[in-house]
Amino acid sequence: MNNRRKKILQELGLTPIWKKRTDSTPESLTSESRETTSATMKDLPASASEVTCDHPVHSMNWDQLKLTVSNCTACALCETRKNTVFGVGDEQADWLFVGEGPGAREDEIGEPFVGQAGKLLDQMLTAIGLKRGSNVYIANIVKCRPPNNRNPSDTEASACEPFLNRQIQLIAPKLIVALGKVSAGNLLNRNDSLSSMRGKVHEYSGIPLIVTYHPAYLLRALPDKAKAWKDLCFAKATMESLL
Ligand code: URA
């Protein structure tokens, strides 16, 4: 194993699993392979399917969008949030990573993926030569914390969808990486298993989209880190083919 590969595996916390390879090792482990706006979400439609190109969200610039999100009362999550979590990173990034929704730490700080799962996400980024904030943008399906870290409901996700949709229009990323089933399911409007969505290039509004595990899940399911590594390699190769 060369030093670069070793370093990548270390970043992903994969090295011990890699060393123990046996005949029964799953195939995945062998992979080398302001102008301000007075609009509040009360005035906005409940779901993106109602959002047309002449809808206010779709003509908003970054500052308008950020302000609108910070004042949003479109769903009940606004009643329990401490902060909205808009998204973070390079607003012209080629890479967009989309998680599910803020957790407790993110709710406190107002930034996505700053807790334990965020640390792992940063390691995943490092593993493929990326860094938070540099050609990478990180966002979530919903911008407010679902209480007790439950999944966002369909109603909550729909209420928030116009914001993510506008962010994606403004960023115009080359590739979207959906982190976990909730993210992939909402972006692709599918209710399929995560495993059936991995390993393919999907599309969101004409933008290639790849599905991988959510970092919070990977913290609990160590063996699947190897599969995530495979997905990241696939995403990197896909990006290279797009450049
Ligand atoms: N999990 C997510 O999906 N998003 C975050 O911002 C943090 C944890």
Question: What are the chain's domains?
Answer: 3-51 (no CATH), 84-242 (3.40.470.10)
Which of these, 113, 123, 46, 115, lies nearest to 85 by C-alpha position?
Answer: 113
C-alpha distance from residue 72 to each of 39, 45, 59, 140 (Å)? 9, 12, 17, 15
**8 A C-beta contact, residue 231 and residue 211:** yes
pLDDT at 56: 86
Mean pLDDT of 232-239: 98
Residue 155 token pair:
């109603």
What is the pLDDT, as a whole number, of residue 33?
A: 29
Structure tokens at 151: 């999944």
Ligand 1 near 215 CB (within 6 A): no
Which one of 109, 214, 217, 218 would you pick to mutate in the ligand 1 pocket, going by the greatest count of ligand atoms within 8 A of its CB?
Answer: 214
Residue 203 backbone dihedrals phi, psi, to 5 degrees: -140, 135
Q: Which atom of ligand 1 is nearest to the CA of 182?
A: 3
Q: What is the pTM of this model?
A: 0.82
Give the pLDDT confidence of 210-232 residue by residue, as tens digits.
999 999 999 999 999 999 999 99
Atom of ligand 1 nearest to the CA of 215: 1
Averaged pLDDT for residues 134-138 = 98
Number of H helices, E strands in the chain: 10, 6
| Reported confidence tier of residue 7, pLDDT bands at 50, 70, 90 | low
Question: Residue 237's pLDDT band (boundaries 50, 70, 90)?
Answer: very high
Residue 216 near ligand 1, beta carbon < 6 Å: yes
Q: Mean pLDDT in the chain?
A: 84
By most ligand atoms within 8 Å of CB, the mutation choice from 96, 97, 100, 108 for ligand 1 is 100
Residue 47 Cα to chain centre, angstroms: 19
* Residue 186 in contact with ligand 1 by CB distance below 6 A: no
- Whose tokens are 């992979």? That residue is 31
Centre of ligand 1 to C-alpha 54, Å, is 31
4 CA to middle of ligand 1, Å?
29
The span from the CA of 102 to the CA of 109, in Å, is: 10
| Res. 15: pLDDT tops 50 | no
What angle do helix axes 224-242 and 116-127 make, rounded to 10 degrees?
A: 50
- Asked if residue 99 has its Cβ within 6 Å of ligand 1, the reply is yes
Q: What is the pLDDT confidence band of residue 203, given thresholds at 50, 70 and 90? A: very high
30-88 residue pLDDT tens: 222 222 233 333 444 444 444 445 568 999 999 999 999 999 999 999 999 999 999 99
Of the candidate ranges 44-53, 54-63, 123-132, 146-155, the one whose mean pLDDT is the lowest: 44-53
Nearest one of 181, 175, 182 to 201, comparing CA atoms? 175
SS3 229: helix
Ligand 1 center to 233 CA (angstroms): 22
Give 112's DSSP letter: S
pLDDT, tens only, 78-118: 999 999 999 999 999 999 999 999 999 999 999 999 999 99
Of 113, 125, 160, 186, which is best to mutate to test ligand 1, by the most ligand atoms within 8 angstroms of its C-beta? 113
